[in-house]
Structure 1
Amino acid sequence: MLTHPSDPRRVLVERSDLDPMALPPDLRRYEIHLRATFDWGRAYLTNPHPDLGRSGSVCPFVSASLKRERFFLAVHPGTPSDPAEAVDTMRFYRDWFLELAPRSQPSAQITTILVLFPDVPQDAVEPLVDDVQAMLKPEYVGQGLMIGEFHNGPPAKSGLWNSDFRPLRSPVPMLVVRHMVPTDYPFLRDDPEQARMYLELFGDQVPAQLRDQVERERAVGAP
């Protein structure tokens, strides 16, 4: 378990912390949510899915993240009074993430922070999680990061290889922080500024399966 150096109320939980008595008292009532999220990560994200539309696991980085204990969970207790509260929370964890996993660090790509919102009522989950993700995505991308939304709605975004698949379903509402990676172009291509940031980071690392698409869209956008 990691405790923030300037705010001891903020902790990041690792899989090995799930003994209820190892958790801080204010997190013990969330043990079931923490356990469900780790189980979801191991059972869903690290395995193939018949509706995914490609081979391989749902998320190719999670297996290493779990194995090397770079899969961190945080809990935001209660229901945010408004989106601004959740925005501030995610900015806090974004900044902590950058301290824990600067891009130059070898384990940066497999590091992630999942911020859980287990107390949010079901009818408020989608507007809160989806709206906060949309609000913060431009500034996250501007720092070379991605912010992902997950809940049991599930979010309306479809899979890249199967438009009928909704891959962002999770047992607990959450927002997820990670580094941008070369395969993220399809999530950024519709916004010129976000596509530009992607090319600044990965212009010489574009995966083979995306090169034609990237070059075609760069040519269309050129003056």
Structure 2
Amino acid sequence: MDTALIIGASGGIGQALSTALTARGTAVTGLSRRDHGFDITDPASVEAALSPLTGPFDLIFVATGGLEINGQRPEKSLKEVTAQSLQDQFALNCIGPSLVLQHAPRLLPRDRRAVFAALSARVGSIGDNGYGGWYGYRTAKAALNQMVHTGAIELARSHRASICVTLHPGTVDTALTARYARGHPTVTPDTAAANLLSVLDRLTPDDTGRFFDWAGTPVPW
């Protein structure tokens, strides 16, 4: 990957991805709220940041996401679900990445291997949901998976060597998971980034439209 665009480049995983790719000799373009005023939940901000870019980028990686938004913790029961919490979850975890995906046909090269990847979460898997709860986050991530799967079908028609996937990074020791790890094994952002890049390195166009975990194992929809 000679060139990469990292969305959410100042976050734990995004920053680690940027560092790892730069060490490989990849020219990294990063966008983040902290450093560039980039707000993935604001369509105008996404358009203003991405429209001037010409690429091509061999990798576009959306490393944004949020579990607890505006103080709203993941819902344990239906009675805790609100319209506002669902809107907030969709804005950050589905709509924003989808608007970035909208620019992929223009920003990815057509004449060689190109990758679009977005961070999802195993809890967004419908088939793997045996515990319930976390309604908004689960549903927004499931919607993201569908957007990327559908986008992959369209992208493959014009970019035959493209790979368009969602990825579960595992439980990463970041601010997002600090309150919810609860004794689960965690990895550092650097380890997570190395794992995710290793997965991407092994994927082929036959894998486009799929959902993989940090070890490269397919996750059920």
- When normalised by structure 1's length, the TM-score is 0.33
**Higher relative helix content:** 1
Higher RCO, 1 vs 2 (CA within 8 Å, ≥6 residues apart)? 2
Instruction: Flag the structure with larger Rg.
Output: 1
When the two structures are superposed, what TM-score results if normalisation uses the length of structure 2?
A: 0.34
